Amino acid sequence: MSRMTIAFRVDADSQIGMGHLMRCCVLAAAFYQRGCRILFVSCGDTMNFMAEAPGFDYECIDLSSRAILGDYARIESSYAITHWILDTYSLSGVALRELRGVLKAVLVLLDDENNRGPLSVDIVLNSSLAANNLDYDLSASACLRLLGPQYSLLRGEFLREATPVFRDRRYCLITMGGADPLGLTLPLLQTLIDQQVIMPIVVVTGQANPQAGTIAQYVKGLSSVIHRHAVTTMADLMRSSRLAIAAAGSTIAELGIMQVPSLLCVVADNQWPAAMANKKHHWCEVYDCRRQLPLREIVEKVCQLWCEPDLLENMSLASRNLYSLDGSGRVVDEVLGYRK
Protein backbone atom coordinates (compact mmCIF):
# COMPACT_ATOMS: atom_id res chain seq x y z
CA MET A 1 0.00 0.00 0.00
CA SER A 2 1.35 3.47 -0.91
CA ARG A 3 2.10 5.93 1.87
CA MET A 4 -0.83 8.21 2.69
CA THR A 5 -0.33 11.97 2.86
CA ILE A 6 -2.38 13.93 5.38
CA ALA A 7 -2.69 17.69 4.88
CA PHE A 8 -3.89 19.87 7.76
CA ARG A 9 -5.53 23.16 6.81
CA VAL A 10 -5.58 25.07 10.10
CA ASP A 11 -5.50 28.63 11.41
CA ALA A 12 -4.17 30.09 14.65
CA ASP A 13 -3.52 33.67 15.71
CA SER A 14 -3.76 36.03 18.66
CA GLN A 15 -7.51 36.44 18.11
CA ILE A 16 -8.75 32.88 17.58
CA GLY A 17 -6.13 31.32 19.82
CA MET A 18 -3.99 28.20 19.52
CA GLY A 19 -6.56 25.48 20.21
CA HIS A 20 -7.19 24.56 16.57
CA LEU A 21 -3.47 24.20 15.90
CA MET A 22 -2.91 22.17 19.07
CA ARG A 23 -5.64 19.63 18.32
CA CYS A 24 -4.36 19.27 14.77
CA CYS A 25 -0.89 18.59 16.17
CA VAL A 26 -2.37 15.81 18.32
CA LEU A 27 -3.93 14.22 15.25
CA ALA A 28 -0.78 14.77 13.20
CA ALA A 29 1.28 12.84 15.75
CA ALA A 30 -1.21 9.97 15.68
CA PHE A 31 -1.19 9.81 11.86
CA TYR A 32 2.60 10.04 11.80
CA GLN A 33 2.84 7.04 14.11
CA ARG A 34 0.87 5.09 11.51
CA GLY A 35 3.45 5.89 8.85
CA CYS A 36 1.64 8.79 7.15
CA ARG A 37 3.36 11.81 5.64
CA ILE A 38 2.21 15.03 7.34
CA LEU A 39 1.79 18.48 5.80
CA PHE A 40 0.46 21.67 7.35
CA VAL A 41 -1.14 24.22 5.05
CA SER A 42 -1.86 27.72 6.34
CA CYS A 43 -1.00 31.41 6.02
CA GLY A 44 -0.15 34.56 7.97
CA ASP A 45 0.41 34.35 11.71
CA THR A 46 -0.21 30.61 11.78
CA MET A 47 2.99 30.01 9.84
CA ASN A 48 4.94 31.98 12.46
CA PHE A 49 3.31 30.12 15.35
CA MET A 50 4.09 26.76 13.77
CA ALA A 51 7.73 27.75 13.26
CA GLU A 52 8.04 28.71 16.94
CA ALA A 53 5.98 25.89 18.48
CA PRO A 54 8.06 23.51 20.64
CA GLY A 55 8.46 20.13 18.98
CA PHE A 56 6.74 21.14 15.75
CA ASP A 57 8.69 19.44 12.98
CA TYR A 58 6.27 19.03 10.08
CA GLU A 59 6.53 20.33 6.55
CA CYS A 60 4.58 23.58 6.09
CA ILE A 61 3.04 25.05 2.95
CA ASP A 62 2.29 28.77 2.86
CA LEU A 63 -1.17 29.31 1.38
CA SER A 64 -2.18 32.80 0.31
CA SER A 65 -4.82 34.42 2.54
CA ARG A 66 -6.73 34.95 -0.73
CA ALA A 67 -6.38 31.32 -1.79
CA ILE A 68 -8.77 30.10 -4.46
CA LEU A 69 -10.02 26.61 -5.26
CA GLY A 70 -7.26 26.11 -7.79
CA ASP A 71 -4.62 26.62 -5.08
CA TYR A 72 -6.02 23.71 -3.05
CA ALA A 73 -6.22 21.52 -6.14
CA ARG A 74 -2.65 22.40 -7.11
CA ILE A 75 -1.32 21.55 -3.65
CA GLU A 76 -3.31 18.30 -3.57
CA SER A 77 -1.89 17.23 -6.92
CA SER A 78 1.70 18.36 -6.24
CA TYR A 79 1.95 16.57 -2.89
CA ALA A 80 -0.26 13.55 -3.68
CA ILE A 81 -2.53 14.38 -0.75
CA THR A 82 -4.89 11.55 0.20
CA HIS A 83 -6.69 13.26 3.11
CA TRP A 84 -7.42 16.87 4.04
CA ILE A 85 -8.03 17.70 7.72
CA LEU A 86 -9.86 21.04 7.74
CA ASP A 87 -9.85 23.07 10.97
CA THR A 88 -10.48 26.65 9.91
CA TYR A 89 -13.40 29.06 10.04
CA SER A 90 -12.26 30.54 6.73
CA LEU A 91 -14.16 27.76 4.96
CA SER A 92 -17.91 28.33 5.00
CA GLY A 93 -20.47 25.72 4.03
CA VAL A 94 -20.51 27.13 0.51
CA ALA A 95 -16.69 27.02 0.30
CA LEU A 96 -16.69 23.41 1.49
CA ARG A 97 -19.14 22.48 -1.24
CA GLU A 98 -16.95 24.17 -3.85
CA LEU A 99 -13.84 22.41 -2.52
CA ARG A 100 -15.64 19.09 -2.66
CA GLY A 101 -16.12 19.70 -6.37
CA VAL A 102 -12.40 20.10 -7.15
CA LEU A 103 -10.59 17.91 -4.60
CA LYS A 104 -10.26 14.13 -4.88
CA ALA A 105 -8.91 13.43 -1.38
CA VAL A 106 -10.98 12.45 1.65
CA LEU A 107 -12.21 15.62 3.40
CA VAL A 108 -12.34 15.61 7.21
CA LEU A 109 -13.88 18.62 8.96
CA LEU A 110 -13.07 19.44 12.60
CA ASP A 111 -16.13 21.34 13.76
CA ASP A 112 -17.44 22.90 16.98
CA GLU A 113 -20.90 24.41 16.47
CA ASN A 114 -22.51 22.94 13.35
CA ASN A 115 -23.39 26.43 12.11
CA ARG A 116 -22.29 26.26 8.45
CA GLY A 117 -25.38 24.66 6.97
CA PRO A 118 -25.13 21.45 4.90
CA LEU A 119 -21.63 19.98 5.13
CA SER A 120 -20.13 18.71 1.87
CA VAL A 121 -17.32 16.65 3.39
CA ASP A 122 -16.69 12.95 3.94
CA ILE A 123 -16.11 12.91 7.69
CA VAL A 124 -17.14 15.30 10.47
CA LEU A 125 -15.30 15.25 13.81
CA ASN A 126 -16.59 16.99 16.93
CA SER A 127 -15.23 15.45 20.12
CA SER A 128 -17.10 17.63 22.60
CA LEU A 129 -19.70 16.44 25.09
CA ALA A 130 -22.24 18.59 23.24
CA ALA A 131 -21.65 17.08 19.80
CA ASN A 132 -24.49 14.57 19.76
CA ASN A 133 -27.02 17.34 20.49
CA LEU A 134 -26.03 19.60 17.59
CA ASP A 135 -28.15 18.03 14.81
CA TYR A 136 -25.33 16.71 12.66
CA ASP A 137 -27.76 14.06 11.44
CA LEU A 138 -29.40 16.91 9.50
CA SER A 139 -26.37 18.87 8.26
CA ALA A 140 -24.08 15.88 7.70
CA SER A 141 -26.49 13.06 6.91
CA ALA A 142 -24.24 11.67 4.17
CA CYS A 143 -21.04 11.98 6.24
CA LEU A 144 -19.28 9.62 8.60
CA ARG A 145 -19.87 11.37 11.93
CA LEU A 146 -17.28 11.03 14.70
CA LEU A 147 -19.08 12.70 17.58
CA GLY A 148 -18.52 12.83 21.31
CA PRO A 149 -15.72 12.52 23.87
CA GLN A 150 -14.75 9.00 22.79
CA TYR A 151 -12.87 10.91 20.08
CA SER A 152 -11.12 13.33 22.48
CA LEU A 153 -7.86 14.72 21.12
CA LEU A 154 -5.44 14.71 24.06
CA ARG A 155 -1.76 15.56 23.93
CA GLY A 156 0.57 12.69 24.69
CA GLU A 157 1.63 14.09 28.05
CA PHE A 158 -1.92 13.56 29.36
CA LEU A 159 -1.84 9.84 28.65
CA ARG A 160 1.15 8.80 30.71
CA GLU A 161 0.41 8.86 34.43
CA ALA A 162 -2.50 8.28 36.76
CA THR A 163 -4.23 11.18 38.47
CA PRO A 164 -2.85 11.74 42.01
CA VAL A 165 -4.84 11.64 45.23
CA PHE A 166 -6.92 14.81 45.23
CA ARG A 167 -5.95 15.98 48.70
CA ASP A 168 -2.28 15.99 47.67
CA ARG A 169 -2.97 18.75 45.18
CA ARG A 170 -1.81 22.25 46.08
CA TYR A 171 -2.37 24.92 43.44
CA CYS A 172 -4.97 27.19 41.93
CA LEU A 173 -4.19 27.16 38.21
CA ILE A 174 -4.94 30.08 35.88
CA THR A 175 -4.66 29.25 32.18
CA MET A 176 -6.35 31.19 29.40
CA GLY A 177 -5.00 29.22 26.47
CA GLY A 178 -2.27 29.94 23.96
CA ALA A 179 -3.30 33.51 23.15
CA ASP A 180 -5.77 34.82 25.79
CA PRO A 181 -7.38 37.07 23.12
CA LEU A 182 -9.55 38.95 25.64
CA GLY A 183 -6.68 39.63 28.04
CA LEU A 184 -8.31 37.91 31.04
CA THR A 185 -5.24 36.50 32.78
CA LEU A 186 -3.87 39.66 34.39
CA PRO A 187 -7.15 41.12 35.78
CA LEU A 188 -8.12 37.69 37.15
CA LEU A 189 -4.75 37.31 38.84
CA GLN A 190 -4.74 40.85 40.23
CA THR A 191 -8.25 40.56 41.67
CA LEU A 192 -7.48 37.18 43.19
CA ILE A 193 -4.34 38.53 44.85
CA ASP A 194 -6.33 41.48 46.22
CA GLN A 195 -8.60 39.05 48.11
CA GLN A 196 -5.63 38.04 50.27
CA VAL A 197 -6.80 34.45 50.42
CA ILE A 198 -3.91 32.12 51.22
CA MET A 199 -3.54 29.93 48.14
CA PRO A 200 -0.53 29.07 46.00
CA ILE A 201 -1.22 30.09 42.40
CA VAL A 202 0.30 28.90 39.14
CA VAL A 203 -0.42 31.23 36.23
CA VAL A 204 0.33 29.95 32.73
CA THR A 205 0.72 32.19 29.69
CA GLY A 206 0.67 30.70 26.22
CA GLN A 207 3.00 31.14 23.30
CA ALA A 208 0.86 33.85 21.67
CA ASN A 209 -0.15 35.79 24.80
CA PRO A 210 0.92 39.41 24.25
CA GLN A 211 0.70 40.17 27.99
CA ALA A 212 3.17 37.49 29.05
CA GLY A 213 5.94 39.99 29.80
CA THR A 214 3.64 42.26 31.82
CA ILE A 215 2.40 39.29 33.85
CA ALA A 216 5.98 38.13 34.50
CA GLN A 217 6.81 41.58 35.87
CA TYR A 218 3.65 41.69 38.01
CA VAL A 219 4.36 38.39 39.79
CA LYS A 220 7.91 39.34 40.75
CA GLY A 221 8.02 39.56 44.51
CA LEU A 222 4.74 37.62 44.95
CA SER A 223 5.83 34.54 46.87
CA SER A 224 2.47 32.84 46.40
CA VAL A 225 2.50 33.01 42.58
CA ILE A 226 4.48 30.94 40.08
CA HIS A 227 4.49 32.07 36.45
CA ARG A 228 5.09 29.61 33.62
CA HIS A 229 5.25 30.65 29.98
CA ALA A 230 4.77 28.41 26.92
CA VAL A 231 4.96 25.30 29.06
CA THR A 232 5.45 21.81 27.65
CA THR A 233 4.49 20.10 30.92
CA MET A 234 0.86 21.20 31.28
CA ALA A 235 -0.24 17.77 32.46
CA ASP A 236 2.12 17.98 35.44
CA LEU A 237 0.70 21.36 36.42
CA MET A 238 -2.86 20.06 36.20
CA ARG A 239 -1.99 16.98 38.26
CA SER A 240 -0.98 19.26 41.10
CA SER A 241 -3.95 21.66 40.81
CA ARG A 242 -6.98 21.43 43.06
CA LEU A 243 -8.86 24.18 41.17
CA ALA A 244 -8.48 25.87 37.79
CA ILE A 245 -9.68 29.07 36.14
CA ALA A 246 -9.42 28.29 32.46
CA ALA A 247 -10.53 29.32 28.99
CA ALA A 248 -13.21 26.94 27.73
CA GLY A 249 -11.40 25.76 24.61
CA SER A 250 -9.59 22.50 23.93
CA THR A 251 -8.28 22.68 27.51
CA ILE A 252 -11.66 21.36 28.72
CA ALA A 253 -10.87 17.76 27.80
CA GLU A 254 -7.43 18.02 29.42
CA LEU A 255 -8.88 19.39 32.65
CA GLY A 256 -11.57 16.73 32.58
CA ILE A 257 -9.17 13.84 32.08
CA MET A 258 -6.98 15.19 34.92
CA GLN A 259 -10.09 15.64 37.12
CA VAL A 260 -9.41 19.30 37.92
CA PRO A 261 -12.48 21.19 39.27
CA SER A 262 -12.71 24.21 37.04
CA LEU A 263 -14.24 27.61 36.44
CA LEU A 264 -14.51 27.77 32.65
CA CYS A 265 -14.41 31.15 30.93
CA VAL A 266 -16.16 31.16 27.57
CA VAL A 267 -14.31 33.62 25.34
CA ALA A 268 -15.64 32.59 21.91
CA ASP A 269 -18.99 31.47 20.54
CA ASN A 270 -17.73 28.03 19.51
CA GLN A 271 -16.86 27.24 23.17
CA TRP A 272 -20.36 27.69 24.58
CA PRO A 273 -22.01 24.33 23.69
CA ALA A 274 -19.16 22.21 25.05
CA ALA A 275 -18.80 24.29 28.21
CA MET A 276 -22.49 24.02 29.07
CA ALA A 277 -22.52 20.29 28.35
CA ASN A 278 -19.66 19.82 30.81
CA LYS A 279 -21.38 21.93 33.45
CA LYS A 280 -24.24 19.41 33.52
CA HIS A 281 -21.81 16.85 34.93
CA HIS A 282 -21.11 19.09 37.96
CA TRP A 283 -17.31 19.18 37.75
CA CYS A 284 -17.12 22.77 36.52
CA GLU A 285 -18.85 26.15 36.52
CA VAL A 286 -19.22 28.25 33.37
CA TYR A 287 -18.87 32.03 32.96
CA ASP A 288 -19.75 33.92 29.80
CA CYS A 289 -16.84 36.30 29.21
CA ARG A 290 -17.53 37.11 25.57
CA ARG A 291 -18.85 40.62 26.17
CA GLN A 292 -17.96 41.40 29.77
CA LEU A 293 -15.71 39.70 32.28
CA PRO A 294 -17.69 38.79 35.44
CA LEU A 295 -14.50 39.29 37.41
CA ARG A 296 -15.86 39.60 40.93
CA GLU A 297 -18.25 36.69 40.47
CA ILE A 298 -15.44 34.39 39.33
CA VAL A 299 -13.04 35.41 42.09
CA GLU A 300 -15.70 35.08 44.79
CA LYS A 301 -16.41 31.55 43.56
CA VAL A 302 -12.72 30.70 43.67
CA CYS A 303 -12.47 31.88 47.26
CA GLN A 304 -15.61 29.96 48.25
CA LEU A 305 -14.51 26.68 46.66
CA TRP A 306 -10.98 26.93 48.01
CA CYS A 307 -12.39 26.82 51.52
CA GLU A 308 -14.55 23.74 50.76
CA PRO A 309 -12.17 20.84 50.09
CA ASP A 310 -14.90 18.21 50.27
CA LEU A 311 -16.91 19.98 47.57
CA LEU A 312 -13.83 20.32 45.39
CA GLU A 313 -13.07 16.63 45.76
CA ASN A 314 -16.61 15.73 44.75
CA MET A 315 -16.30 17.95 41.68
CA SER A 316 -13.06 16.19 40.81
CA LEU A 317 -14.70 12.78 41.03
CA ALA A 318 -17.59 13.95 38.83
CA SER A 319 -15.30 14.33 35.80
CA ARG A 320 -13.99 10.78 36.01
CA ASN A 321 -14.46 8.75 32.82
CA LEU A 322 -16.02 11.60 30.83
CA TYR A 323 -13.18 11.67 28.30
CA SER A 324 -11.35 8.93 26.42
CA LEU A 325 -7.60 8.41 26.56
CA ASP A 326 -7.42 6.82 23.12
CA GLY A 327 -9.61 9.23 21.16
CA SER A 328 -6.96 10.21 18.61
CA GLY A 329 -6.29 6.54 17.86
CA ARG A 330 -9.99 5.99 17.20
CA VAL A 331 -10.09 8.98 14.85
CA VAL A 332 -7.08 7.72 12.88
CA ASP A 333 -8.62 4.24 12.59
CA GLU A 334 -11.86 5.69 11.23
CA VAL A 335 -10.19 8.13 8.83
CA LEU A 336 -7.67 5.67 7.36
CA GLY A 337 -10.34 3.00 7.12
CA TYR A 338 -12.80 5.25 5.29
CA ARG A 339 -13.57 4.40 1.70
CA LYS A 340 -15.46 6.75 -0.60
129 and 165 inside one domain: no
pLDDT single digits (tens) 117-150:
999 999 999 999 999 999 999 999 999 999 999 9
213 and 89 inside one domain: no
- CATH number of the domain within which 197 lies: 3.40.50.2000
Residue 17 has pLDDT above 70, yes or no: yes
53 and 162 inside one domain: no
Residue 246 has pLDDT above 90, yes or no: yes
172 and 232 inside one domain: yes
Mean pLDDT of 87-116: 96
Share of the chain above pLDDT 90, in %: 86
Q: What is the mean pLDDT of the chain?
A: 94
| pLDDT at residue 53, rounded to an integer | 81
pLDDT single digits (tens) 21-48:
999 999 999 999 999 999 999 988 889 8
DSSP 265: E
Q: What type of residue sits at position 340?
A: K
167 and 313 inside one domain: yes
14 and 95 inside one domain: yes
84 and 141 inside one domain: yes
Range with the largest mean pLDDT of 67-76, 164-173, 283-292: 283-292
| pLDDT at residue 55, rounded to an integer | 80
Residue 311 has pLDDT above 80, yes or no: yes
Distance CA 224, CA 209 (A): 22
| pLDDT at residue 161, rounded to an integer | 63
pLDDT single digits (tens) 171-217:
999 999 999 999 999 999 999 999 988 999 999 999 889 999 999 99
Distance CA 297, CA 186 (A): 16
Range with the largest mean pLDDT of 1-5, 64-68, 161-165, 281-285: 281-285
245 and 276 inside one domain: yes
Q: How many CA atoms lie within 13 A of 6 on its CB side?
A: 24
| pLDDT at residue 2, rounded to an integer | 79
- CATH number of the domain within which 31 lies: 3.40.50.11190
Q: Where are the alpha helices (DSSP H) in the chain?
A: 19-33, 45-52, 69-78, 93-102, 136-139, 185-194, 212-219, 234-239, 251-257, 272-279, 295-306, 309-318, 327-337
Strand order in the sheet with 37-42: 59-62, 37-42, 5-10, 83-87, 106-110, 123-126, 144-147
Q: Which residues contact 245 (CB under 8 A, 6 or more apart)?
A: 172, 173, 174, 175, 188, 262, 263, 265, 298, 302
83 and 214 inside one domain: no
Q: How far is C-alpha 317 from the chain's CA centre? A: 22
| pLDDT at residue 1, rounded to an integer | 58
Mean pLDDT of 237-265: 96
Query: Is this prediction's pTM over 0.85?
Result: yes
Q: Which residues contact 98 (CB under 8 A, 6 or more apart)?
A: 69
101 and 224 inside one domain: no
pLDDT single digits (tens) 141-175:
999 999 999 999 999 999 876 677 899 999 999 99
140 and 220 inside one domain: no
105 and 187 inside one domain: no
Distance CA 86, CA 83 (A): 10
**Domain membership of residue 133 as a residue range:** 5-154+324-337
DSSP 179: T
Cβ count near 76 (within 10 Å): 20
**How many domains does the chain divide into?**
2
| pLDDT at residue 34, rounded to an integer | 97
Q: Which of 56-70, 202-216, 220-234 has the lowest mean pLDDT?
A: 56-70
Residue 64 has pLDDT above 90, yes or no: no
